[in-house]
Structure 1
Amino acid sequence: MKKIFFLLFILLIINQLSFAQSKNQQSIDLSIAAFGGFSPALSYNYNWGLGKRGKFKIGTGIRFTYFVSGKRDLITAPATLTSGERGPQVLFTENILSNFDTLKVSKISAAYINIPIHLQYSFSKKFEVGFNIDAIGLSFGSKQSGTFYASDSKSLNKSTQLAKPTTFNLLLVSDNDLGSLNSELYARYWVNDKIGLRAGLSFQFIEYKTDKILTFENDRFRTKNLLPMVAISYKF
């Protein structure tokens, strides 16, 4: 009798594990975002289904993003300069325009690999909406020269400066963020059990760091880019 109860207990555990696994979702995704820049991204995603039906999912994974564009103005990045604040309140604080400097470059070319955070809701087996945002990672890219336009330095104004993508990426809040980060808001339609099509918007912070400390003791400059995005997903 004990053996029968033990066997039933094992079968119950296996059934629950398989049920939980069925609500989870693994996929590989290739997206392309373009408008005033070109940005392909390749990602592996793992989402855990929550609740009895698993319609709401939370997940993570790894994403490689490449961003390239022509002439671009990189603006002073740190929140302590752009708004004079730190923390979430930067979202509700007006910019201090007198603290803004500009690094004009002829080309942007940055590659970055980050661990994202995923939030997703399935309305049906075919249709779902979601949001994801990079949390932490690293950026890569070669040095390039740019013209620095200083708001408060005659000696540095219109000087030539060298800069390259900031190495360390970290999600904080708005201008508190460090480095280069990608986020997406999207809707997805599953054509069949394996193939899905996504469309939405990609919002990217691309940050460069100069070789020298410039005005306001700053060496970080960024561009913010909102791009239409399409993608194909493979679920396994």
Structure 2
Amino acid sequence: MQRVFLFSILCFLSLSVLSQNEESEKKGYKFNNNFDLALSASSNQFLGALSWTHFHAITKKKRFKIGYGIRFNVQSGKNLYYETAPAMLTSKRTDPGVLFSEIFHENIDTFYVAKSQNNSLNISINLQYTIKEKLDIGFNIDAVGFTFGGKTSGTYIAHQSSDNGSVQTSKPTSFNALLISDNDIGMLNSELYARYWIKEKWAIKAGVSFVFTEYTTDNKLRLENDRWRNKALLGMIGITYSPFR
């Protein structure tokens, strides 16, 4: 848990240094404030995201920008399969090498949820490059925050356990943190997008969202695990409003 808080502090410090060292832009701090509404969906899952982002140009021509922001995510889904979440179980390691580690399928069980609903409020990290004056490509990802939502019941699927087929009660994992691969905790959203400015202050964007949602069961089940994660790739469309451009 200490590593989670250290990671969060380092993110804030690095962004603060960039902000303090950057030269003032011609139109001031307000110029690069974006407000976004994005809608993402797949066949059995929907995600709405409302966000604010502030960008800082870090190159001379101001094409490449780094930003920070706040994003509120609302997710709903049906017939979703949540798998064993902790990296110590899925990869048997938690160091940076977990990103390239093999998956130990014998440690992975499933938690089936007929109806899923999660809400999160996260701090985001943003990268963006302007190809032409009206066209941006970018990537963003949630870094740290919290999730809330109601309790839900699901079916535990684990043929190695006597609890196989039992109904378990769960709630959304409350704390969110971007770490490394399966070390991640909670609900995290990321977007890869292209944005086109149709007017001075208005833009449309399209791309994909990669969203993690996570439940914690009331009971610890096989291998003392109570955390379950669903990963989903969703098509995304959105609109951006920049009031001070």
What is the TM-score with the length of structure 2 in the denominator? 0.86
Instruction: Look up the match of 1:79.
Output: 87
**Structure 2 CA distance for aligned equivalents of residues 165 and 73 of structure 1:** 14
Q: Of residues 162, 171, 188 in structure 1, which corresponds to 2:169?
A: 162
Q: Please name the residue that 1:145 is paired with.
A: 153
Q: CA deviation at 1:127?
A: 0.5
Offset of residue 150 of structure 1: 2.0
Asked if 1 retains the 8 angstrom alpha-carbon contact of 2:112 and 2:155, the reply is: yes
1:68 aligns with 2:84: no
Superposition deviation, residue 83 in structure 1: 1.0
In structure 2, the CA distance between the partners of 1:219 and 1:121, relative to structure 1 (3 Å rule), is same
CA distance in structure 1 between the aligned counterparts of 2:149 and 2:175, rounded to whole angstroms: 12
Structure 2 residue matching 1:133: 3-state secondary structure: strand
SS of the residue corresponding to residue 98 of structure 2 reads helix
Within the candidate set 187, 190, 195, 2:194 is matched to 187
Aligned residues: 220
Q: Which amino acid in structure 2 is aligned with residue 17 of structure 1?
A: S
Write the letter of the residue equivalent to 2:140: N
Q: TM-score if structure 1 supplies the norm length?
A: 0.90
Aligned to 1:59: 67
How much has 1:20 moved relative to structure 2? 7.5
* Contact 1:119 1:131 (8 Å CA) reproduced: yes
Q: Does 1:171 align with 2:203?
A: no
Unaligned runs of 5+ residues in structure 1 are 1-15
Question: By how many angstroms is 1:21 displaced?
Answer: 2.9
Q: State whether structure 2 residue 98 is matched by structure 1 residue 90.
A: yes
Q: Distance in 2 between matches of 1:160 and 1:52?
A: 58
- Cα 1:123–1:23 change in 2 (3 A) is farther
Q: Which residue, out of 27, 40, 51, partners 2:48?
A: 40
The residue type equivalent to 1:136 in the other structure is V
Structure 2: distance between partners of 1:186 and 1:23: 23
Q: Which has the larger radius of gyration?
A: 1
Q: Secondary structure at the match of 1:193?
A: coil
Instruction: Quote the offset at 1:223 in angstroms.
Output: 0.5
- Partner residue in 2 for 1:206: 213
Contact 1:28 1:233 in 2 (8 A): yes
Alpha carbons 1:147, 1:160 under 8 Å: kept: yes
Q: Can you list the C-alpha shifts for 1:26-67, whole angstroms capped at 9, x where unaligned? A: 110000001131111100110111122211100111000111
3-state DSSP class of the match of 2:24? helix
Residue type at the aligned position of 1:80: M
Q: State the identity %.
A: 47
Q: CA deviation at 1:151?
A: 4.2
Q: Is the 8 A contact 1:23 1:49 kept in 2?
A: no
**Secondary structure of 1:139 counterpart:** strand
- SS of the counterpart of 2:88? helix
Distance of 2:183 and 2:28 partners within structure 1: 37
- Equivalent-residue separation in structure 2 for 1:49 and 1:23 (angstroms): 13
